[in-house]
Amino acid sequence: MVAKQDYPKASNALVFGGMLTYIAGLMLLMAFASPYWIQSYQDTFSNFKHMGLWEYCFDQFRYPYYQFDKQFDGCHYIFSQEYYVIREWLLPGWLMVVQAFVTLALILSFTSQIIIVLELIRWPLKLVLSFEWILSGICFVCNATSAGLLFLAVAIFGGECWRRDWLMYPNYNYLSWSYGFAVLSFLFHLFASLFLYLDSRRGWQQRKESRNLVAQMHPNQGRNGFV
C-alpha cells in the first residue's frame, strides 16, 4: 500500500492556473452583476446614468417614442415591469448576444474552478490520479472557451454601444469599470488556460506512472487482473 504522502501533488502549473482562474471568475462575476458597463459623464446631466447587462438607471427619463408622458426614474432590473414598455429599445439583439456570451463564460469559469479544486485537494484520489490530465484538459477547454466568449462579448459591446438607435446622446457616455473587469477577466482566463494546457500535457506524459501508482494502491485488484 502506498503511503498517503507518496502520491504526487498538484503541479505548479495547476496551482497558478487555478489562482488565475479564481481571479478571472471573481472579476467576471463582478462584471456580470454590476450595472456599470457604460456610464454618462456627470457634467452632462444626462437623464441616463449607467447600465449593466441586467440593470438600467435613469433620472426622470422620458422615452420620446412612447405615447404617454411617463418618467423612468431610478435603477431597475431590465426584465422588471417598470421597463416593460421600453424593453425592446433597452434590449437590442446585439446586447442579448453579449448577455448570452457572458453568462456562458461565467458557467464555464465556475465549472473549471470546481474541477481545479478537486484536483488540488486530490479528491476523489483514485479518479484524480487516473484522469488528472483529462480533468486539466477539461479546465483548459473551459477557460479557453470563456476567454473566447468574453473577447466576443467585449468586442461586440464596445463596438455597438455608441449606436444612436440605442441610448440617446452616446457621446455623453463612456465605458465604465464593469466593462473593464470583463476585459481583465478575458485576459486572466486566457493566461489561466495556458497554464492548464501545460499541466494537461504534463499529465498526458506521466499517465503511465499514475496508472502504476493506482495499481500499487489497490494490490488485490492488480493480482485479480493478472492471475
Asked if residues 200 and 11 have their Cβ atoms less than 8 Å apart, the reply is: no
Comparing CA positions, the residue from 225, 202, 23 lying closest to residue 119 is 202
Is residue 168 one of the residues assigned to a domain?
yes
* pLDDT for the residue numbered 7: 77
Q: For position 150, which CATH number holds?
A: 1.20.140
pLDDT tens digits, residue range 29-54? 999 999 999 999 999 999 999 999 99
Q: What is the pLDDT of residue 2?
A: 45
What is the dihedral sign for C-alpha 161, 167, 173, 177? negative
Per-residue model confidence (pLDDT) at position 173:
97
Domain with 139, as residue range(s), is 11-35+92-213
Question: Is residue 156 included in any domain, yes or no?
Answer: yes
Nearest to 143 by CA among 11, 24, 12, 16: 24
Quote the number of domains for the chain: 1
Cα torsion at 216, 219, 223, 224 (round to 10°)? -120
Task: Provide the pLDDT for residue 216.
Answer: 67
Question: Is residue 76 in some structural domain?
Answer: no
Q: Any idea which residue has 473566447 for its cell?
A: 148
Distance CA 214, CA 131 (A): 11
Domain assignment of residue 73, yes or no: no
In a domain, 72, yes or no: no
Low-confidence ranges of the chain (pLDDT < 50): 1-2, 225-227
Q: Is residue 6 part of a domain?
A: no
63 assigned to some structural domain: no
- Residue 214's contacts (CB-CB under 8 Å, 6 or more residues apart) are 126, 129, 130
Residue 189 has a pLDDT of: 98
How does pLDDT run across 164-174, given as a tens digit for each residue?
999 989 999 99
pLDDT at 48: 96
